[in-house]
Amino acid sequence: MKELFKRYRVFLALLAVNVVVGLTLPEIGAKSFELTRNNLLEMISVIPPIFVLLGLLDVWVDRATMIRYTGKRSGLKGVLIAFLLGSAAAGPLYAAFPVAAVMLKKGSSLFNVFIFIGAWSTTKIPLLTFEAASLGLTFTLTRLMLSIIGIVLIAATADSLLTSGQQQEIYDLNRN
Amino acid sequence: MFTYVLYALAGGGLLVSFVKDRGKTKMALKKAWKSFENILPQFLAILIIIGLALSILSPETITMLMGTRSGVFGVLGAALIGSITLIPGFVAFPLAAALLKNGAGYMQIAAFVSTLMMVGVVTLPLEIKTFGKRATLIRNVAAFVFSLLAALVIGVVL
């Protein structure tokens, strides 16, 4: 019980802040509660299948397979798989981190995991169609082309700025 | 729409998994729940922060910030707003389209959209859990710099 309280203390403190804001500035308070509720509902509708797929991935794909397809020596194939996995996703970026954790645990290369995160963040297919509808095809395609270059550059930057010791620390974080 | 595809995939996957091996399927569901519960505290905290931030930083305020200022400061401001806020795509794109109509430039909009998707200040605690502090910092800074460059290119092209 105490453990549970400790884990959720930041959330509880923020909730208290929100209640105080709601009492002093009813308009902003009500609006923020509504936004929080809408976001919560959105999350509840999108997140379950992501975590179920994550669980299935964890149980059915063994380490050797993951290493073969997305590990250090998987080459261009590994990059493409990571990219497609990320692009086929739905849901906010923070849902990608637990999936990335499973990939790391199973031996994906850090570079490929960063590609996956990059693709999830910005080249998700459903989001692209929506972007094109709102902001036009030229804008979307230009941004998409730039993003693909950017995803690779960001992954390469992160990968090269981390020493092998630091990379090992990241793998250790996700050993569980 | 796409959410249904994910549900179908997850449902189908579970079914196949269940037929093949009940024990493993149970384990998969346990792991799914464990991963979810692992991020739940931060996740709920983030939701409240977003709610508070967006109720103070209304679309009108954002329009004012990005619509009236132009040039470098507008782009920087747009990039900062995009980095801090976390707005779902189906809200963000219509908002961006409205901003364009209200006088924001393509450069500012590109900076806003790009940082919104790639840089996550409020979700840093979640990212650090998986990637550690250093890698998280590097990724977000690199994504921020990239977003500015992309905005520049888009501003020139469009």
Residue ranges of domains in chain A:
1-47, 61-173
* Per-residue pLDDT, B1: 66
CB contact under 8 A, A49 and B10: yes
B75 and B28 within one domain: no
Quote the pLDDT of residue B54. Answer: 80
| Same domain for B66 and B25 | no
A102-106, A107-111, B39-43, B50-54, range with the lowest pLDDT: B50-54
Distance between CA atoms of residues A114 and B2, nearest Å = 23
Same domain, B80 and B131: yes
Structure tokens given for B69: 């200022």
ipTM: 0.86
* Residue B9 belongs to domain spanning: 1-41
Per-residue confidence (pLDDT) for residue B110, from 0 to 100: 94
Residue A45: pLDDT over 90: no
CB count within 10 Å of CB B138 equals 20
Q: Is the model's pLDDT at A91 over the cut of 90? A: no
Helices B59-68, B89-101: axis angle to 10 degrees equals 40
B18 → chain A, closest CA residue: A56
Same domain, B31 and B72: no
Do B17 and B92 fall into the same domain? no
Chain B residues near residue A25 by CB distance under 8 angstroms: none
| pLDDT tens per residue across span B82-137 | 998 877 776 788 778 877 877 778 899 999 999 999 999 989 999 999 999 999 99
Average pLDDT, chain B: 87
* Same domain as B108, residue B66: yes
What digits encode the pLDDT tens for the residues A46-74?
A: 889 989 999 999 999 999 999 999 999 99
Residue bearing tokens 């974080």: A173
pLDDT at A170 over 70: yes
Q: Mind listing the pLDDT tens digit for each residue in A5-24?
A: 889 999 999 999 999 999 99
Q: Is residue B48 part of a domain?
A: no
Q: Minimal CA–CA distance to B123: which of A167, A124, A73, A94?
A: A94
3-state secondary structure (DSSP) of residue B119 = coil
Per-position DSSP letters for B17-63, written without gaps between them:
HHHH-HHHHHHHHHHHHHHHHHHHHHHHHHHHHHHHHHHHS-HHHHH
Residue A82's pLDDT is 97
Residue B43: is its pLDDT beyond 90? no
Q: Give CA–CA dist A34/A145, Å, rounded.
A: 36
pLDDT for position B8:
93
Is the per-residue pLDDT at A39 higher than 90?
no
Ramachandran category for residue B35: left, alpha or beta (phi over 0 → left; psi -120 to 50 → alpha): alpha
Given a cut of 60, is residue B68 above it in pLDDT?
Answer: no
Query: Is A122 at the interface with chain B, CB within 8 A?
Result: yes
pLDDT at position B67: 62
Instruction: Establish if B18 touches chain A: CB-CB under 8 angstroms.
Output: no
Domain co-membership, B75 together with B150:
yes
Same domain, B8 and B35: yes
| The one-letter amino acid at A6 | K
pLDDT for the residue B70: 61
In whole angstroms, give the CA distance from residue A98 to residue B33.
11
Residue B101 lies in a domain: yes
B103: left (phi over 0), alpha (psi -120 to 50) or beta: left
Instruction: Judge whether B108 and B74 are in contact, CB under 8 Å.
Output: yes
CB contact under 8 A, B39 and A98: yes
Model confidence over A104-146: pLDDT tens digits?
999 999 999 999 999 999 998 878 888 898 899 999 999 999 9
CA–CA separation, A101 vs B31, rounded Å? 12
Q: Is there a contact between A100 and B130 if contact means CB atoms under 8 Å apart?
A: yes
Q: How far is CA B38 from CA A127, A138, B35, B54, B114, in A?
A: 27, 41, 5, 26, 28
Contact B36 A51 (CB under 8 A): yes
* Chain B residues whose beta carbon lies within 8 Å of the beta carbon of residue A170: 130-132, 135
Residue B28: closest CA among B38, B37, B17, B12: B17
**Is residue B52 domain-resident?**
no
Total tally of structural domains belonging to chain B:
2
